[in-house]
Structure 1
Amino acid sequence: MGRWSFLPRTTRWVVRFLRPLFIVLTRRDWRDVEKLPQDGGYVLAVNHLSHVDPFLLSHFLVDAGITPRFLTKDPLFRVRVVGSILRGAEMIPVFRSTSGAADSLRAAVDAVQEGKVVTIYPEGTITRDPEGWPMSGRTGAVRVALETGAPLVPVAQWGPQAILWPYTKRPRILPRKTIHVRVGDPLDLSDLQGEEVTEDQVVAATGRLMDTLTAMVADIRGELPTTPRIDVHTLAKPRTTYDDSESS
């Protein structure tokens, strides 16, 4: 069996093309990989910085022996070519047209229960924070972890925004950027297990998750946020622009 035999065939082709480019074009500072669970399915909760970070994070996951599986809006699965690629790479649809939050995540729950690792961006979108800090989170990652009883593992990243700042169009590949990834300890949700969980409790647990991710990003950056956390529920549609000042 080949080195990437654990990956779906579609993912293997993408890895063979992109991984050599990432090796040449980026530096990698990946730490605490040993904290990733070794058995069974679980949820990875990651801060979202750039349109390129799913690819760069996938580089980290593949080298850690994990198949990248991200939540993806279900309408994309109905686009002929795109849908075929997403299904071939075992991406996980989010059914946003459904009436309930639990129903919208049923494919993610099924995947974790089948022993797969599912990566979720709890913010649900790329950060709008002017300094790149995590925003508040949506509750999907916590819901999937509680529904399945699987570990919820926070993963912080920093560096993709230096290649492509949020909602800009022009990448800055050179000089080579360092991609930092930190794996945290599984979030303690023991206070919510074995009882009927209320919406307020799920929201509070999501707040703990985002506090953890923010602290991990702060550790990478060596600084703390200086402004309040942006609430994702108040966001308008992003305006894609380019500003030289944003690339620093």
Structure 2
Amino acid sequence: MNLKQISIAVYATYLTNKYGFKLKKAKTFQEKRELRVDYSETLLSKLNINIKVLNEEKLPKEGKYLLIANHRSIIDPLIIEIALKNSPIHGFWVSKKELYNSFFFGSFTKNADSILLDREASNMSSFFSDTKKVVQKGHSIFIFPEGTRNKTDKQISSFKEGAKLIALKNRIDILPVFIKTNANEILKEAIEKRTKNLEIEIEIGDLIDYKDKTSLEALYKKQFNIK
């Protein structure tokens, strides 16, 4: 790593933990939501990355949903937070246990409204109980149905079945969003070259009925014309 890369890494670590502390002190869901957006805008601004939202008018004006998105970079949650900042939708992120234990993300993840997903658990009853509590309080759930970051050359990798099950169990429709730009490539350029005025496009899709029996991956691909 060169000096610029080290500088960005140190700043990102500082900022993430700073906001993790602020989130811990926050007393309302609205306050946490505002902090999440502020954090996202601050870090992406430092990286000279702008977010362009396509079909923003499709964002629901009310209700609770299962938001699904493709996943290629560590900044994907920030992109989504900014895309939703003018929407009333507040969601709890489904977060892996590894993030809870991370030095970089741990404090932020634990305090930013999230649902712990322990893939090593003997059963998932606790996880689904947590999702139910969140939805009953009027909140949405955000998840990357690929399960982990897509490091292939394809636009998306295979979806796990668990995402659709969350929607079915909670009877909430699905809000698909698609990060069209390869955010991981943009992030690398931002860190390695410090390029100015980088842009990432994210597209809002049409709601999917939770009762639709078509595979979630097929529905997602059709909406965004993914081959």
Q: How high is the TM-score relative to the length of structure 2?
A: 0.71
Q: 1:171 deviation in Å?
A: 5.0
Letter in 2 for 1:35: K
Show CA shifts across 1:58-111 (max 9, x none): 121223343353111235446799554323211111132333345443322321
The corresponding residue for 1:29 is 52
Q: Which segments of structure 1 move beyond 6 Å, counting only runs of 4 or more?
A: none
> Contact 2:145–2:163 (CA<8 Å) still a contact in 1?
yes
The corresponding residue for 1:71 is 94
Q: How many residue pairs were aligned?
A: 199
CA RMSD, 1 decimal = 3.3
The corresponding residue for 1:143 is 165
Q: Percent same amino acid at aligned positions?
A: 24
Matches within 5 A, 1:119-198: 119-130=142-153, 132-159=154-181, 160-164=183-187, 173-191=194-212
Which of 188, 196, 220 aligns to 1:213? It is: 220
Aligned equivalents of 2:72, 2:218: Cα separation in 1: 16
1:55 maps to 2:78: yes
Distance 1:171 1:10, change over 3 A: farther
Distance 1:191 1:123, change over 3 A: closer
Gaps of 5+ in 2: 1-26
Letter in 2 for 1:150: I
Q: 1:152 deviation in Å?
A: 1.0
Gaps of 5+ in 1: 193-204, 219-223, 226-248
Distance 1:189 1:9, change over 3 A: closer
Q: 1:30 deviation in Å?
A: 0.9
> Contact 1:162–1:172 (CA<8 Å) still a contact in 2?
no
Matches within 5 A, 1:110-121: 110-121=133-144
Which of 106, 115, 127 aligns to 1:92? It is: 115
